[in-house]
């Protein structure tokens, strides 16, 4: 992956909360850890030497428990929180140290944010809320209303434009929040635990909606979550944070199969791995047995999730053939193999 495909790149970013960040930085450079610094200086380390980049058009999930610095991290991107040191680039443009005016431009054009608490303006109608970002940017009323209406249609809220936020349910309020962020057509959509305050059914519906919108518009989305199910469902890549540090970045399968440490492994405890692993990941080529295609013998596609092939493997009398999208033979899965894989994770 070359750097031209990176829309956001973060290098050596630190954030220290407190009156004397230099002191804490010196201690960090000397190798002190977070709790030691807090005890000695009273400075809290929010983000510790973060390095990663987000590719154009992907959903990048930042995951961690509360206090791991994930919400701080996302606010560093649009400088709602000032980084203590390091560099953040959007489309090759340096964000840290931008003067106020240029920073406002970045917030208006390059990045929009969706909040856990929705943060809608109670004194504005749904339409005015959705057009808020455009109004702030100085767009004429006619034009911004048209674009806000379009955004409301995208999130399925056409017809509610004259309601006020308190008349809507939580899920609908967050749709307004999403429409407000989409209306300004940002290069990057930042979503801070956007669905965490919603009940499970609505949350799952909104996740589906987000996946659909992302596929349609190919928008880059940075999504903050503490829920592994959510992260795996929507994320193309996931960064896991612990105590201000990014401990691992990878696809859901990378994290599941090669966790960097126990913290990452602990996230997957109780998680149904058959949702992530695909038939192709388990299939084995047995040299002693030649593949003979026959219309009666069962076969599965290699990109089928494991959870969907249990009954096929169980009911077939012999190992099930796995074929890739071109119909080429990848190997076979026997019930024993399947059980071994499941018990390993």
The whole-angstrom separation of Cα 241 and Cα 53 is 15
Q: Does an H or E element contain 342, and which?
A: helix 335-344
**Of the candidate residues 92, 93, 136, 212, the single one contacting another protein (CB under 8 A):** 136
Does position 166 interact with another protein (CB under 8 A)? The reply is: yes
Task: Enter the DSSP assignment of 115.
Answer: -
Does position 167 interact with another protein (CB under 8 A)? The reply is: yes
The whole-angstrom separation of Cα 49 and Cα 75 is 16
Q: Which is nearer to another protein, 68 or 145 (CB)?
A: 145
Does position 117 interact with another protein (CB under 8 A)? The reply is: yes
Does position 311 interact with another protein (CB under 8 A)? The reply is: no
Q: Which is nearer to another protein, 34 or 107 (CB)?
A: 107
Does position 142 interact with another protein (CB under 8 A)? The reply is: no
Does position 80 interact with another protein (CB under 8 A)? The reply is: yes
**CA angle, 23 as apex, 22 and 26 as ends, to 5°?**
85
Q: For residue 191, report the phi and psi dihedrals to the nearest 5 degrees.
A: -125, 110
Do residues 17 and 46 make contact, with C-beta atoms less than 8 angstroms apart? yes
Q: Is 189 exposed, middle or buried (0-12, 13-18, 19+ CB in 10 A)?
A: buried
Does position 72 interact with another protein (CB under 8 A)? The reply is: no
Query: What Å distances lie between residue 129 and 152, 196, 253, 259, CA to CA?
Result: 10, 21, 39, 42
Q: Which is nearer to another protein, 129 or 299 (CB)?
A: 129
Q: Enumerate the β-bridge partners of residue 44.
A: 17
Does position 6 interact with another protein (CB under 8 A)? The reply is: no
* Binding flags for another protein, 313-342, as an x/- string (CB under 8 A): ------------------------------
Does position 78 interact with another protein (CB under 8 A)? The reply is: yes
**Of the candidate residues 10, 27, 113, 306, the single one contacting another protein (CB under 8 A):** 113
**Of the candidate residues 22, 26, 105, 143, the single one contacting another protein (CB under 8 A):** 105
Q: Which is nearer to another protein, 138 or 287 (CB)?
A: 138
Does position 132 interact with another protein (CB under 8 A)? The reply is: yes
What is the smallest separation between the CB atom of 110 and another protein, expressed in angstroms?
10
Q: Is 38 exposed, middle or buried (0-12, 13-18, 19+ CB in 10 A)?
A: middle
Q: Which is nearer to another protein, 118 or 263 (CB)?
A: 118
Query: Could you write out the DSSP letters of every residue in 242-264?
Result: ETTEEEEEE-HHHHHHS-SSHHH
The whole-angstrom separation of Cα 18 and Cα 172 is 38
What is the smallest separation between the CB atom of 96 and another protein, expressed in angstroms?
17
Q: Report the interface residues with another protein, using CB under 8 A.
A: 78, 80, 104-108, 111-113, 115, 117, 119-123, 132-133, 135-137, 162-164, 166-167, 180, 184, 190
């Amino acid at each position: 992956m070359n750097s031209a495909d990176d829309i956001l790149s973060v290098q050596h970013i630190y954030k220290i909360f407190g009156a004397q960040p230099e002191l804490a930085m010196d201690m960090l450079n000397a190798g002190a850890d977070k709790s030691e610094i807090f005890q000695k200086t009273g400075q809290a380390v929010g983000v510790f030497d973060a390095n990663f980049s987000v590719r154009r058009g992907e959903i990048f999930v930042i995951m961690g428990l509360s206090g791991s610095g994930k919400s701080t991290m996302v606010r560093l991107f649009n400088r709602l929180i000032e980084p203590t040191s390091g560099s953040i680039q959007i489309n090759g443009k340096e964000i840290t140290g931008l003067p106020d005016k240029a920073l406002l431009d970045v917030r208006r054009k390059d990045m929009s944010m969706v909040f856990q608490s929705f943060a809608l303006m109670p004194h504005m109608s749904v339409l005015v809320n959705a057009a808020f970002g455009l109004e702030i940017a100085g767009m004429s009323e006619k034009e911004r209303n048209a674009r806000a209406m379009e955004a409301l249609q995208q999130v399925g809220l056409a017809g509610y434009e004259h309601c006020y936020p308190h008349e809507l349910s939580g899920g609908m309020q967050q749709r307004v929040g999403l429409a407000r962020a989409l209306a300004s057509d940002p290069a990057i959509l930042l979503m801070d635990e956007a669905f965490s305050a919603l009940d499970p059914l609505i949350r799952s519906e909104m996740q589906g909606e987000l996946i659909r919108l992302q596929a349609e518009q190919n928008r880059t989305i940075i999504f903050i979550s503490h829920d592994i199910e959510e992260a795996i469902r929507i994320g193309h890549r996931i960064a896991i944070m612990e105590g201000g540090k990014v401990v691992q970045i990878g696809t859901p399968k990378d994290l599941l199969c090669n966790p960097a440490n126990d913290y990452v492994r602990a996230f997957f405890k109780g998680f149904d791995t058959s949702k992530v692993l695909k038939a192709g990941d388990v299939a084995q080529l047995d040299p002693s047995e030649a593949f003979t295609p026959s219309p009666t013998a069962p076969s599965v596609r290699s990109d089928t999730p494991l959870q969907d092939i249990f009954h096929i493997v169980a009911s077939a009398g012999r190992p099930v053939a796995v074929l890739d999208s071109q119909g080429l033979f990848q190997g076979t899965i026997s019930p024993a193999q399947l059980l071994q894989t499941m018990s390993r994770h």
